[in-house]
A = this chain, B = another copy of it.
Amino acid sequence: MRKKNSNPTMKDVALEAGVALGTVSKVINGLPVGEEYRQKVESAIKKLNYQVNSYAQGLKANRTNTIALLVPNTINPFFGNLVNCITVALSKRHYHTLLCCTDYRQDLENKYIAMVKRKQVDGIIGLTYNPNLRVDENTPFVSIDRCLGPTIPCISSDNFAGGQIAAEKLASLGCRHVAFMRIGSSLTNEPNKRKSGFENGCMISGMTYENCLLEDGTSMEDFYRFLQEHYSGGKLAFDGIFCATDTTAYYILQCLRLLNVKVPEEVQVIGFDGVRILSEFGFVCSTIVQPVEDIAEMCVEMIHQENMSTKPPLICLPVHYEPGGTTRD
């Protein structure tokens, strides 16, 4: 006798329909079956409101159509957007998303990765920071913004190109001496290339530049100090600023207002990410827009192709510039 609280099983359906267990299974899985049997089974399914138990299914098939998604959080608007796009992309391919917010904590990153071994998920898409992350060779893993090794695909924006585009854009808008400002990202991840790309672009364009690089954990107020140090006689030493993120750019814009430096008249500012104000208005600033939807699609594509013979270790997707009021274009 079944527990009263338990849901109907295939056996119940078979009993109700007066057919064998295997027949029910075949109907469920769309395998060829006699039409009269199919009718009986289907009406029995409806009558009992039967649903397959995906744990039993997973136990047999060794897969659950679930992908774990590791991100620091969903509060940061860039992450929020990324999570949304990936979830939608996974859903399109009939995958479920197990969301894991790591809060930048290494222990949580490792804990969630251990989960995959318990077969909770078929694969992991991770935007992680843990320097000594231990991912199994044969664990389907796709990394975002950070290369973890030759066997693990990494999806990223073309950060180098983005930095270079920013520099060239500033140059074409008349800048001669510019600054690059960044906080955190002390790890060797892809977004660090924004700096290199920017420097390269400065060289190409014949601009001189200075860097203001704050360590992780530093207060952003050091940005203000830096700007103050390069401000004298009512004039800022730079005519252009490239910020590693739109968030940084937003802070810098506030600093410039305090210093009474006019944007974009006296100094032009370009950020990175393409974040929108409250997610639905314009850009925070002129910015290098990351192709978030393409990144999401590519991640899912790569996770999907688990048996790819040759996994490209690094895929950089093209970015583009969008004016947002903080440049003279």
Contacts and interface: CB of A to CB of B under 8 A. Distances in A.
A217 to B, nearest CB: 14
Interface string A112-132: 001101111000000000000
Interface stretch (A49-57, A160-168, A236-244): A49-57
A115 B57 CA distance: 14
Nearest to A103: B88
The DSSP consensus for interface residues of chain A is mixed
Interface stretch (A14-22, A36-44, A91-99): A91-99
Interface in A51-104: 51-56, 58-59, 62, 64, 66, 69, 73-77, 79-81, 83-84, 87-88, 91, 96-101, 103
Contacts of A246: 278
A279 B75 contact: yes
A35 interface: no
A284 interface: yes
A33 interface: no
A119 B91 CA distance: 18
A54 B277 CA distance: 41
A97 B98 contact: yes
A247 interface: yes
Which of the four size classes fits the interface of chain A?
A: 35 or more
A73 B74 CA distance: 11
A101 B84 contact: yes
The CB with the most chain B CB atoms within 10 A, among A74, A84, A280, A284, is that of A74
A96 B96 contact: no
- Oligomer copy total: 2
A5 B307 CA distance: 13
A305 interface: no
Contact of A7 (B49, B76, B119, B280): B119
A29 interface: no
B99 A98 contact: yes
A57 to B, nearest CB: 8
Given A7-B119, A54-B120, A278 B279 contact: no
A224 interface: no
A275 interface: yes
Contact of A87 (B49, B64, B99): B99
A250 B281 contact: yes
A138 interface: yes
Contact of A119 (B54, B247, B277, B279): B54
B53 A278 contact: no
A155 to B, nearest CB: 19
Interface of A: 5-7, 49, 51-56, 58-59, 62, 64, 66, 69, 73-77, 79-81, 83-84, 87-88, 91, 96-101, 103, 108, 114-115, 117-120, 138, 246-247, 250-251, 275, 277-281, 284
The list of the 9 closest CB pairs from A to B, nearest first, reads A80-B80, A55-B58, A99-B99, A51-B117, A55-B59, A74-B84, A74-B80, A75-B279, A54-B118
9 contacts: A54-B120, A73-B84, A74-B87, A75-B280, A76-B279, A83-B83, A87-B100, A98-B99, A278-B284
